[in-house]
Structure 1
Amino acid sequence: MAKPATRILFAWQEMIDGNSRIAGYRIQPRAFSDCDNIDGGALEACLQQENARQFASRRPLLIPLTTSQWSATDFSAVIATNTCFLLTDLARQPEPRQLIDAIHAAGAKVATYHGWSTDEEDGTADWPVDLLLFDFQEAPLAALEQRLRALRRRRPEVQLVADQVHTWPEHRLCQRLGFTFSIGGFAASRDEEAPTGKISESRLVVIDMLNQIRSDAELKDIASTAMRDPAVVVKLLDMANSPLYGLPRKVAGIEEAITLLGRDALYRWLSLAMFHIDADSGRDRTLLVIALCRGALLEGLVGNADRQRADELFLVGLLSVIDCLLGQPMADILNRIRLPEQVAAVLLRNEGPYARYLQLAIMIERCRLDQAVVLAGAMQIAPAALIDCYREALGWASGELGK
């Protein structure tokens, strides 16, 4: 594998499907060098470091690519079943079909952006691409509907992707219009059309247990709370009996299971259980992946040098979308949960020493990479450390997609 000529940070944008789940990602590269241009060799090498081929063996991965990058580089090492090269300058090529055929012959799919023109017939719609991206904000809705109907008649096999989707209602509209996927910054946002939900009994049990751990309650009292919900009991027993602990016999009692797990591990699992318990929708699973990625990134940026700080930053990332999950204002939710003051300060008021960490994670999610690099520098975080932590966090969190 060629050594990368430059460090590249990839922002991974979720592709949300009709079930509100993360179906795949589009990556956005940013180079940290004196020149913003990324040559094909550096891009290919960094894609290998990102394990792009492994990911694309399971789910769609859109990789923006120029024709010059493709022509100058052998990308075979990063091509898998669901690798899709998003050609950003295909419309300017004299022979686009030949280029598309060459990429198909290499085993990858091809995507491009739909180009709006004054003509009813747009050339991009007739190219043999596999995915066609539309800027959802670019054209009036009536014109978009008309173009999509015509395209569906001519190219029923092509997958349509709505780009620049800002809200969950816009995503649902895109599904009604016939789009396969939506891309935008809406996945971690509140769904304003969703009814204000009542927190389920299972989640109330989890919240009560979290509060008991924070207040150093007796283990028998924590166990008594867990027994109010069978789902919590079953999961805790499964954890205690996992091969990780290597016990010679099965643990059958909930108090013994809690003793075995320990307060720190139990508190971390209960925080995750806020997402797992009653997570019966694709949107819940999407929020779980986003929350895990944020938490792991913030934790990784601190490392093991300050374990308490790292644990609290993990909580910040994990709980930063809890209002979206439960459909209630953050203040109402945190009134129920006893949290460290610095964690509550950033979640409620975007204040305190942890606020910049959460801002950094959100900047990367929203592809504001230049701002992320500036903020990381102010926090004395090197670009290389940021790249490595983000890669590891996303790899761990996206593993939830297959569970």
Structure 2
Amino acid sequence: MSIPLFKKLFARLSSPPPAKASAPKVEATPPAAAAPRLLFAWQELIGADRRIAGYRLLPRALDGDAAISGAQLSAGLAHENVRPAAAQRPLLIPLSAAQWADADFTPLLAAHSHLLITDLAACADPRALIDAIHVAGGRVAAYLPWQVDAQAELPVDLFLLEFHEVPLAALEQRLQALARRRPGVGLLADGIESWDEFRLCQRLGITYCSGGFTASRDQAASAERISESRLVVIDMLNQIRADAPLKAIAATAMRDPAVVVKLLEMANSPLYGLPRKVAGIEEAITLLGRDALYRWLSLAMFRMDGDNGRDGTLLMLAMGRAALLAGLARDSGQAADEAFLVGLLSLIDCLLERPLSEILARIQLPEAVAAALLRNEGPHAPPLQLAIMLERCQLDQAVILAGALQIPTARLVACYREALSWATAQVGDA
């Protein structure tokens, strides 16, 4: 982990985002019908390197089943601050031809904005619509047509396909036909449920994948041994929670050279401004302190085995869950630190490819944290389920559960946005 990342983490990781953080600055001025009652799920798009390459937005009206007008969608996207996000990475925004005609989306578009035209096949003049979006500075996405004919030759930048919509053999034929007509066009496969399916998509030449596989265990890696570095990190976390002497924690760290090197690098970073170099591990741990060391170790579990893409994706998901749970816990008067830990550890079984019970047996946890993670019980369990529903874009179920938990929908929207923003700031470019 680099020194700049150390500085970033410890400048902002001292606590999860505040309960009532102000909304991010919006570059585009929303229409008069501001404060739209929309909930947007941000679905990760995973690239070939197993990192989060971009996002697909899925909107839901909070006022029943009312249709979302173009003006409402434009205002909601402005409130989500989509333009800076799309300046950095692909952002897929679904809208109809009527919604495009109803509002001016140009101020919201950036270099990687992809407008997914949901009814392109029904448009009277699809090429004119595509040309208009291109002129406005956006890109165009569409559903992969059943028949790869002249429609596939439209200047669409990205085709979306439902992976389980057709048998695999038929899907391969469609992709081969598309490659002949539109070589190099981007492809997004939705509905991917396992890492095996993800690897199959890579062999088929698919650019991005989305679905529940990101938060699942990779069966191909299940036989791998948990690295010694991660075992050392878990043991150190356990010692800190048990208030063990610093000398004992240092002795544990010395079991693995990689942990020693990273701790010394951290202690000697410009963040601490020491006049001399720290050479001893016990001195480094004393300098860092228990709180900073615990925070670093919690993140190091996701970082100790190199930069393989998938670990970074799991860290992003875990940090988003942790921040959301902490924010909701503060609102309800529950222990925010416990809630944060529930979110952070909720994907540790996917990271280490071991049963959760086996992993948590090595860590001393508060009973409420263990109950939520192992038995889906206690005060932190329902918010964790809510976070998972949002992550999986199950927006109807999320709104129902939020109502049962007496979480105002406006607060759910704000807390979810704050959590995503905070997680991205912490590890998005790490």
Residue 388 in 1 paired to residue 414 in 2?
yes
Secondary structure (helix, strand or coil) at the match of 2:262 reads helix
CA 1:264–1:380 in structure 2 vs 1: closer, same or farther (change >3 Å)?
A: farther
Tell me, yes or no, if structure 1 residue 263 matches structure 2 residue 263.
no
Q: Is the 8 A contact 1:112 1:129 kept in 2?
A: yes
Partner of residue 19, structure 1 = 49
Contact 2:54 2:89 in 1 (8 A): yes
C-alpha change, 1:49 and 1:250, in structure 2 (3 Å) is farther
Instruction: Give CA deviations for 1:91-132 in whole Å, capped at 9, x if unaligned.
Output: 11100000000000111110011232xxx5445312110000
Number of residues paired by the alignment? 399
Correspondence for 1:6 among 36, 40, 44:
36
- Length-normalised TM-score, structure 2: 0.87
Q: How does 1:2-401 map to 2 (within 5 A)?
A: 2=30, 3-4=33-34, 6-34=36-64, 36-116=66-146, 120-242=147-269, 245=272, 251-303=278-330, 309-399=335-425, 400-401=427-428
TM, length-normalised to structure 1: 0.93
Runs of at least 5 residues in structure 2 that lack an aligned partner in the other structure: 1-28
Deviation of 1:196 after TM superposition, in Å, equals 2.1
The letter for the 2-side match of 1:25 is Y
Amino acid at match of 2:55: Y
- The whole-number CA distance in structure 2 between the counterparts of 1:124 and 1:294 is 41
**In 2, Cα distance between the equivalents of 1:27 and 1:286?**
18
Identity of aligned residues (%): 64
Whether contact under 8 Å (1:25, 1:62) holds in the other structure is yes
* SS class of match (2:59): strand
CA contact (8 A) 2:148 2:178 kept: no
TM-superposed CA distance for 1:255, in Å, is 3.0
Alpha-carbon displacement from aligned partner over 1:345-395 (angstroms, at most 9, x marks no partner): 221121222110110000001111121112112222211221112112112
- Structure 1 unaligned regions, length at least 5: none
Contact 1:196-1:328 at 8 Å conserved across structures: no
1:4-27 superposed Cα distances (whole Å, 9 cap, x missing partner): 252211111111111211111101
- Give 1:194 shift: 2.5
Report the 3-state secondary structure (helix = DSSP H, G, I; strand = E; otherwise coil) of the residue aligned with 1:255.
helix
Structure 2 Cα separation of the partners of residues 314 and 287 of structure 1: 15
**Secondary structure, counterpart of 2:152 in structure 1:** helix
Contact 1:6/1:32, CA 8 A, preserved across alignment: no
Higher relative contact order (CA 8 A, sep 6+): 2
